[in-house]
């Protein structure tokens, strides 16, 4: 599955890394552990900025319930990984892509040219499901629509929208507005949003993933959102 949105800062990397963590926990083999086998869940970054790499670098490897790989500049590696029978789930983080060709005809691929565009195409070719984070902020809506209408739909890639960065303190109206916008367009959507919690932003800095959060208070609520998203995604697959 790929986490994608043309808009930057909507939470693609946060979602990719934490989704991989929750799935890594779910797919942990129960038998004797073979240290040489690939982990059943692999997180990949094609992002030239490498935000996922930064994150993975800060987490002690034995604490990460998934493997991490950078597929940046390695065409075909995702397809190879997908063919590996010991790998059950692959989560790919992708960069925002504002440098699309603005004059591209509606029927043509708007991703443009260059290494980043090639990496996106390589990723989309093997994608079984796209996760599209959309925030309550109006500015993220049009790029989200573009991502779905121009990039995902023409390729026939199934997708699921998820509201991210909803701050419950801003009230239910904010949540209802973005959900109504998604629903009006008939986009499949995870029922529950990922709420905005400071702990997520701090976790990135401290190299933590949700499966390491405390199981009480705010940390529990924050991690719960990702468990719910993982379930919604399993249903969509």
Ligand X SMILES: Nc1ncnc2c1ncn2[C@@H]1O[C@H](COP(=O)(O)OP(=O)(O)OP(=O)(O)O)[C@@H](O)[C@H]1O
Selected from 6, 7, 12, 189, the binder of Mg ion by CB under 5 A is 12
Q: Is 106 exposed, middle or buried (0-12, 13-18, 19+ CB in 10 A)?
A: exposed
Which x/- pattern, by CB under 6 A, does the window 25-64 give for ligand X? --------------------------x-------------
How many CA atoms, within 13 angstroms, populate the side-chain half-sphere of residue 167? 6
- Segment contacting ligand X by CB under 6 A, of 2-10, 37-45, 98-106, 172-180: 2-10
Instruction: Determine if 13 is a binding residue for Mg ion (CB under 5 A).
Output: yes
Polymer length of the chain: 237
Phi-psi region of 35 (alpha: psi -120 to 50; beta: other; left: phi over 0): alpha
Instruction: Determine if 237 is a binding residue for ligand X (CB under 6 A).
Output: no
Question: What tokens appear for 99 in the block?
Answer: 């440098």
Of the two residues 139 and 201, which places its CB atom closer to ligand X in the complex?
Answer: 201
Which alpha helices (DSSP H) does the chain contain, by range? 12-26, 51-58, 77-82, 115-125, 141-146, 172-184, 198-206, 217-236
128 to 157, contacts with ligand X by CB under 6 A? Answer: none
Of the two residues 9 and 207, which places its CB atom closer to ligand X in the complex?
Answer: 9
CB under 8 Å to 72, separation ≥6 — which residues?
45, 46, 47, 48, 50, 119
Least distance CB 213 / ligand X (angstroms)? 12
Selected from 8, 114, 154, 206, the binder of ligand X by CB under 6 A is 8
Instruction: Determine if 196 is a binding residue for ligand X (CB under 6 A).
Output: yes
96 to 125, contacts with ligand X by CB under 6 A? Answer: 96
Number of chain residues interacting with ligand X (CB under 6 A): 18
| Residues forming the site for ligand X (CB under 6 A) | 8-14, 51, 95-96, 164-165, 194, 196-197, 200-201, 204
């Amino acid at each position: 599955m790929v986490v994608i949105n043309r808009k930057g800062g909507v939470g693609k990397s946060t979602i990719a890394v934490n989704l991989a963590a929750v799935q890594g926990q779910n797919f942990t083999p129960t038998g004797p552990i073979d240290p040489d086998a690939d982990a059943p869940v692999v997180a990949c970054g094609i992002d030239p900025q490498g935000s996922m790499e930064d994150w993975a670098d800060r987490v002690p490897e034995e604490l990460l319930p998934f493997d991490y790989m950078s597929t940046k500049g390695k065409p075909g590696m995702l397809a190879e990984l997908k063919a590996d029978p010991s790998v059950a789930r692959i989560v790919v983080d992708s960069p925002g892509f504002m440098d699309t060709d603005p004059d591209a005809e509606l029927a043509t691929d708007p991703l443009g040219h260059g290494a980043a565009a090639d990496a996106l195409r390589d990723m989309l070719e093997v994608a079984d499901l796209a996760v599209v984070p959309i925030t309550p902020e109006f500015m993220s809506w049009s790029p989200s629509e573009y991502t779905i209408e121009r990039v995902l739909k023409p390729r026939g890639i199934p997708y699921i929208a998820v509201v991210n960065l909803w701050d419950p303190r801003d009230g239910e109206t904010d949540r209802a507005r973005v959900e109504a916008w998604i629903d009006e367009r008939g986009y499949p959507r995870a029922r529950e949003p990922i709420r905005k919690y400071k702990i997520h932003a701090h976790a990135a800095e401290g190299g933590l993933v949700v499966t390491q959060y405390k199981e009480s208070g705010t940390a529990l609520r924050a991690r719960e959102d990702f468990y719910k998203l993982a379930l919604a995604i399993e249903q969509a697959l």
